[in-house]
Amino acid sequence: MHRSVESLKAKLKQFCRYAADDTLLMVYYHGHGAMDDDNELVFSSHDHPENAEWSKAAAAELYAALLSGDACTTHGRRDKYQELLKKYERYRPVSTLKWDAIRTPILSAPCDVLLVLDCCAAGGAGLRHLSWQPPAGAEAYTKHLFAACGFESSTSDDMTAALCEVLDEWVPPIPAGAVVPGLVTAKSEVGVMATAGRAGSGSRSRSRAASADAAAAAAVRDVGVGGEAGKGVVGGGAGGPVGGGQFLTTKRLHQLMEDKLQKRSVGSQPIFKQLLPQDPEQYITLPNLRNRDAGGELKMGERRGRRGYIIA
């Protein structure tokens, strides 16, 4: 937790070296979040216990362990020492980090970015502040946000589980009379530090000058990639099966997560927001990390199209 801001900025700078036109960077955070007095999102390492009686009992236990030698790393019981160490980590100084401190390196990356924040007040990352302006050229790429809840809300801690379930279950349809290898799904667990994969098509800013191009882009957003009108396939179409199209977009992924959480009646619902560009709405197709064939078997995906990297 020492020098957390400088350390994280250095890691982000190194991570953003992967940025390229054919690359999607994914930044994932699961932890504590809150809004400060300046209405700015702040991440923190942990919370101090608020129960005074628990604190007194914990202090007495620690004192007894010190007197008996159980808290000694050389002469005490190793299991007892590890138990005390884990319990009292909550009393270490809290390390904090403002979203404002890392917003520019993330949103100025010269590639598409998916930011996933599973914490309280996560929607605060989507608030626009007058003091911050996008760096030159940043709006040439698409930046999407998955927030576990709004900026004035707390999360029920269900978004990451729903995200992993949707990615694990999502399989593209196989057209009648054809055998088409499936797209594939990312089977993930919370806490994975970094991974990489390849994807299908990417998203680039479309020309506003040609009306035909604009109409085509709108059709892709409304209908989806690899599907027909009214089928609710990926790319923004509502409804439809989980495997509703050949490629899975960030917007469709959010809809599937939202459907799962609504059925479970959880306390908070994830928010999807396009951070950049401000207009028009763009779509991002997710990387293929693994492939599922027609028989349901999982295998490593073919490298094609674009690269995807995740930092958590």
CA dist., res. 148 & res. 117, Å (int): 6
**Which residues 6+ apart lie within 8 Å of 66 measured at CB?**
none
pTM of full prediction above 0.85: no
What b/e sequence results for 104-139 when a residue is b if at least 16 CB atoms lie within 10 Å of its CB, and e otherwise? bbbbbbbbbbbbbbbbbbbbbbbeeeeeeebeeebb
- By CB neighbour count within 10 A (0-12 exposed, 13-18 middle, 19+ buried), where does 293 fall? middle
The strand pairing partners of 196, in sequence order, are 309
Fill in the DSSP letter of residue 46.
Answer: -
pLDDT at 298: 43
Fill in the DSSP letter of residue 285.
Answer: B
CA dist., res. 200 & res. 307, Å (int): 9
In the numeric block, which tokens belong to residue 274? 């396009």
CB distance 227 to 234 below 8 Å: yes
Per-residue pLDDT tens listing for the chain (312 residues): 557 788 899 999 999 999 999 899 999 999 999 999 989 999 998 876 666 676 677 777 777 777 776 656 555 566 777 777 777 777 778 889 999 999 999 999 999 999 999 999 999 999 887 778 888 888 899 999 999 999 989 998 899 999 999 988 887 655 555 444 433 333 333 232 233 333 333 443 333 333 333 333 333 333 333 333 333 333 333 333 444 456 789 999 999 999 999 998 887 889 999 999 988 899 899 886 555 444 444 443 333 346 777 887
**Which residues 6+ apart lie within 8 Å of 302 measured at CB?**
198, 288, 291
CA dist., res. 65 & res. 72, Å (int): 8
CA dist., res. 24 & res. 287, Å (int): 8
